[in-house]
Amino acid sequence: MKTLSPRRPARVIIALALLVLDILLMADPVSAVDNGTLGIRPEKESDFFHLSLYPGAKTEATAVVSNHTSSPVTLLTYPVDGENTVQGTFAMAAQSAPREGVGAWVELDMERVTVPANTDLKVPFRLTVPQGTPPGDYAGGLIIQSPTVQGEITAVSGDTAVRLDTIQRQGVRIYLNVAGTAAKSLAHGGLSWQRNGENLDFILPVRNTGNTILNPSAYMNLSGWPATATRLEFDTPDGLLPGASIDLHATLAGAPMIQSGAAEATVTSEAGTAQAGLRVFYAPWPLLVIGLVCFAAAFYGAWRTFRFIRRARIALSQLKSMGNAAPH
């Protein structure tokens, strides 16, 4: 967002913000992507495009764009690759992002479409898989982007004012399977933990090292003192794309002030089951210092007692020797 001077409205610099509305992050994955104003969906499927092709093959499909308003609207249309966010949800790459998969293989007849008021418009496209493409699952989407809506100029302070413009972007997912040998493989990193206020957060990094979309789920057993036999569930990603890496998170809410024990996580996916574990020990620093001081004091006291007893034994031994050596 940039600042601008209200004294020169003819030289306004647009402050552009991308407002993503209902873009592929819908709570109900079986519903079409439609926010009540604009929508996009497959012509022959209820949710997303599911395509399967051999390397070098091509297919045609059709998206349906809906305009629920009382005025015609001209929309920018373009394909993009799919990706996983750090939270594990499915997302569409930005328009400016490099296109290496589905986003590069989809062809549209036109970059813009005009949808009449209260009308559904069919938007055909072609998808061609290049020769030599490795087998496996690929994901992307078809985006519709509305014209920029200019916001009002708002004075901030003095000679400074801002204007926030918005863009509405929606999309429909395209899942593509390139025929060949499926390789299902999931790798995980080391389990770790960290204190977060009153909570204890556990992190398990996972990576899809195969060529198919995986749906990993994980749980963790925490044992020890004082939390014993505690089971935690990790968050579940929205389909882990091949090559994608994310961190799974689990939280022990209201963690005890002191914890000593072991944590063992189990992650399960179409690739099988794996485990990761670690020791968990923590305590507040003041308590650790007090404990260390008490231990040092106890150790010092025991050492002094040991020395006293040793000296007393030596003294008694000497007295006994002197008594035995005295003339009778």
Amino acid identity of residue 150, one-letter, is Q
Q: Which conformational region is residue 21 in: left (phi greater than 0), alpha (psi within -120 to 50 degrees), or beta?
A: beta
Q: Tens of pLDDT along 238-288? A: 999 999 999 999 999 988 878 788 999 999 999 999 999 999 887 655 544
Give how far the C-alpha of residue 298 lies from the chain's centroid of Cα atoms, to the nearest Å: 49
Q: What is the pLDDT of residue 161?
A: 78
Q: What is the pLDDT of residue 228?
A: 67
Q: Do residues 173 and 141 touch, judged by C-beta distance below 8 A?
A: yes
Enter the pTM of the model.
0.76
Residue 25 has pLDDT above 90, yes or no: no
